[in-house]
Structures are given as structure tokens and as C-alpha cells.
Amino acid sequence: MAHGLRIICRDARHANGVLKMMPNKTYRHDARGMAQIVRTGWDKAVQIKSQKAYVTSAPLWARSSAVGCSRKSA
């Protein structure tokens, strides 16, 4: 909110599921569908983790990935 604007992140999986039901898949129809989702209130707001949370968990993800790779090769 540095400029006084509120930002809300939406659940992409939920929107994707709704947009899949549309018969014509074009960018114009997707944009119209997204606007309709917001207008009707079908969207879901989601929480975003802080930068610190991502920095803290990155080494754990890397270790988990490395351990998974070593198990597959053995």
C-alpha cells in the first residue's frame, strides 16, 4: 500500500476451473471471464507469504530436493 492502492491476490486454480467451462478459449474471452468472476464474487482471495518466509524455507526445499534425487539414484 505504498501508493494507497490495495492489492488482493486471487486463487489462480479456482479461476482456471471456472474459465475451463467456457466453450471459446481466447484471451479476450478469458479477460471477460476474469472480469465476470470478480463482478459476481466467485473469486477467492489468498494469502501471500512474506519475503522472509521464502528466504527461510528455500534451503529446506533445496535439501529436500537433493535428498529426493540421491534416493532415486541409489
| Model confidence, pTM | 0.51
Domain boundaries, the chain: 12-73
pLDDT computed for residue 22 by the predictor:
82
pLDDT computed for residue 74 by the predictor:
53
Q: Which three cell numbers stand for residue 40?
A: 459476481
Q: How far is CA 51 from CA 13, 14, 59, in A?
A: 22, 24, 14
Q: What is the dihedral angle through the alpha carbons of 63, 46, 34, 24, rounded to the nearest 10 degrees?
A: 40
Entry field: residues in the chain: 74
- List, run by run, the mean pLDDT of 10-residue segments along the chain (74 residues): 75 84 85 88 83 88 80 57
Q: What does residue 6 show for φ and ψ, rounded to 5 degrees?
A: -90, 135
